[in-house]
Amino acid sequence: MIEKIPFGKTGHLSTRTIFGAAALGAMRQSKADAVLDVLLEFGVNHIDTAAGYGDSELRIAPWLKRHPGAFFLATKTGERTYQRARDGVRRSLERLGVDRIDLIQLHNLSIERDRQVALGPGGALEALVEARDQGLVRFIGVTGHGTYVAARHLDSLASFPFASVLLPYNHAMMTQPEYASDFNALYALCRERGVAVQTIKSLAERRWRETDEGRRYAWYKPIRDEDALRRAVHFVLAREGLFLNTSSDATLLRETLTAASQSTERLTDAALGEDAERLGVEPLFVRDVSDQV
């Protein structure tokens, strides 16, 4: 089974591998049920979705009814203003079919002007705090993409005691000195304060190219090589306290959870570098070049 550790200061012991429910956004219910059943098989007890993930919240709803209390439930709002975020929280509660969400997250606060609006007067954060005070949500987090996100999260944590952060983390991203420095500073602060750190894009190989063939289940090309995939998963889990949110490509869910349930192997930069060279791994985000999805 997959290791469980405290999810920050929430009091919940979450599996270190969290189900990234973006994978359900365009699925039929029957297919979504089959994917979600895999979580039970591996003991995953934490689901992360978002209002903007297509029909994901709707696909999760009937499954939550069949397994009440089995999962720490997280969703996200991409709204930046009070009223729209307030309405969004209630819409997510209705779509998920629940009375309370465990974690509501301000989605993708990677751009400074968005962060200032969402955290400022009349911003989305006011609506999330209100929802928490009303018992509609339990905790509030923040997420983001790109190479500036770790620095933005540091700014956000200086303004509000968020329960969790979410951002990219893989070997390719950490070969970029500026990003690595920002990530390490954020990681240290979160460890000090008991803030949960969720990571995304663990299996990212590179961005798609026009010449790439085959079905595309994620916006980036994922690692499919079995050994490289295992090492990519273990790269994340080898770092104490990190959580790995699974890919939006559900075809890799079982392989990811299998790797996460195994003893973490001792990794070297040489082995990870060989995987990168052999597969053509590239950072998804490069500062001031490709910082957006």
Residue 279 confidence (pLDDT) above 80 = yes
What's this model's pTM, rounded to 2 decimal places? 0.96
- By three-state DSSP, how is residue 243 classified? strand
In the Cβ-directed half-sphere of 195, how many Cα atoms lie within 13 Å?
A: 25
C-alpha–C-alpha distance, residues 246 and 28, integer Å = 19
What are the pLDDT digits (tens) for 150-190?
999 999 999 999 999 999 999 999 999 999 999 999 999 99
Residue 58 confidence (pLDDT) above 90 = yes
Kindly report the backbone phi and psi dihedral angles of residue 92, in degrees, each rounded to the nearest multiple of 5, phi listed first. Answer: -65, -40
What are the pLDDT digits (tens) for 209-239?
999 988 898 999 999 999 999 999 999 999 9
Per-residue pLDDT, 259: 97
What are the pLDDT digits (tens) for 60-79?
999 999 999 999 999 999 99
What are the pLDDT digits (tens) for 8-51?
999 999 999 999 999 999 999 999 999 999 999 999 999 999 99
Count of other CB atoms within 10 angstroms of residue 80? 22
3-state helix, strand and coil shares in percent for the chain, rounded to the nearest 5: 45, 20, 35
Among the four given CATH numbers 3.20.20.100, 2.30.30.40, 3.30.70.80, 3.20.20.70, the one describing domain 4-279? 3.20.20.100
Q: Residue 56 is encoded by which pair of tokens? A: 């994901």
Residue of 34, 49, 53, 43 lying closest to 13 (CA atoms): 43
Cα angle, residue 247 at apex, residues 246 and 250 outer, rounded to 5°: 100
